[in-house]
Amino acid sequence: MVQKIAIIGGGIVGSTAAYYLSQDEYANFEVSMFDEGIGQATKAAAGIISPWLSKRRNKKWFRLASDGAELVAKIAQETKMNDDAYANNGTIITRKNKESLDELYKIALEREKSNPQMGSVQYISKDEIKNLIPIIKNSPYDGLFVPGGSRIDGNLYCQHLLNIAMKRNLSIYKGKVKLINDNQILYKGKIFTFDKIILATGAWSKEILANLKINLNLRPQKGQLIELRIANNEFINKMPVMMPESEYDFIPVGREKLIIGATHDNDQGFDLKHEKSVDIALVKTANNLINNVKANDIILSKVGTRAYTDDFSPFLGMIPGHPSLFIGTGLGSSGLTTGPIVSKLIVDLIKNKKIDLNQYQKPISTYIN
């Protein structure tokens, strides 16, 4: 029997779910995606996938993020994603002081053992950093090179997966929907009924569930970044991402685009206003590493809204007491890394596969009341 599935939200969670729902030739799904897209975090994101040297002590989050990084690489490979959407060029993490770099290296050696995707982490000197990223004039500090680190373009990644799914069983509808009950959605004045609904609604998940009197522990966070056009013949292919201590991140893309970002504003709610003062601060960071970057070099300034829970952990699963409603949100600032695995697990649940969510998260009731 055909199962009608709705996905609300077309960011990384929704798009990856659509991809997985289109992959199983034995399952019979008819999938509809509804997406408003305004303020979407995925489209605004910087694109760094490199969770392994995070100092977060939350083991469940680390499992989710490291399995997520591995899954992103697998999806990119199996769907033949091009370099603009996903590139595994490594990441460089610098530290001002030698002791904290050594401490990070120790963590790396420990984590390498159970995370093959990370690769073998190496010390990298200031001069070696300049060789890998020649546009950098003044890397002031030495760092570590993480070969498994990658960058993705959230928007291109989603488009690529949606194109695959649309050839099979996916229809996409633009605009905002309301949830009427566990199985019905209001879209452009009409009611649509589904067997199951996936809420991939990011920071807006609290709002959409309020109608069903379900309250989520979730808050929005504003993020802004800039894209610079650097006409510079020192751009080379395959430059890694650079994550300097106490500076914004530095993400070279292709041969002339550089992304600098991103900010984390907890007190601006869903505001999407583009702040000039933030652009200036981001350009200043760029100038700490390369010479003569000007505000005129900015080709795009992006703003998006991340979703955070109180313990900074994503959560996913069936909403307790609502067997046809599934959710995955609270991805915070590493949602391009965790989003794909969050969706794959949701789709596994929909396909009645046995999975152990305890390794990845606290009980879902922690985040819902």
Ligand X SMILES: Cc1cc2nc3c(=O)[nH]c(=O)nc-3n(C[C@H](O)[C@H](O)[C@H](O)COP(=O)(O)OP(=O)(O)OC[C@H]3O[C@@H](n4cnc5c(N)ncnc54)[C@H](O)[C@@H]3O)c2cc1C
- Footprint of ligand X (CB under 6 A): 8-14, 34-38, 40-42, 44-48, 154, 176-177, 200-204, 208, 223, 225, 261-262, 304, 306, 329, 331-337, 339
| C-alpha–C-alpha distance, residues 292 and 286, integer Å | 9
Q: How far is the CB of 33 from ligand X (least distance, A)?
A: 9
Residue nearest to ligand X (CB): 335
Q: How far is the CB of 200 from ligand X (least distance, A)?
A: 5
Residue 345's nearest CA partner among 333, 357, 337 is 357
Q: How far is the CB of 338 from ligand X (least distance, A)?
A: 7
Q: Which is nearer to ligand X, 18 or 46 (CB)?
A: 46
| C-alpha–C-alpha distance, residues 217 and 215, integer Å | 7
Q: Which is nearer to ligand X, 6 or 144 (CB)?
A: 6
| C-alpha–C-alpha distance, residues 342 and 347, integer Å | 9
Q: How far is the CB of 10 from ligand X (least distance, A)?
A: 5
Residue 167 is classified by DSSP as T
| C-alpha–C-alpha distance, residues 77 and 61, integer Å | 24
Q: Which is nearer to ligand X, 144 or 226 (CB)?
A: 226
Q: Which is nearer to ligand X, 142 or 227 (CB)?
A: 227
Cβ–Cβ under 8 Å, residues 141 and 96: yes
Q: How far is the CB of 28 from ligand X (least distance, A)?
A: 25
| C-alpha–C-alpha distance, residues 19 and 158, integer Å | 9
Q: Which is nearer to ligand X, 14 or 143 (CB)?
A: 14
Other beta carbons within 10 angstroms of residue 348's beta carbon come to 14
Angle of helix 59-78 relative to helix 335-350, nearest 10 degrees, comes to 80
| C-alpha–C-alpha distance, residues 262 and 185, integer Å | 34
Q: How far is the CB of 172 from ligand X (least distance, A)?
A: 11
Q: Which is nearer to ligand X, 121 or 331 (CB)?
A: 331
| C-alpha–C-alpha distance, residues 199 and 240, integer Å | 34
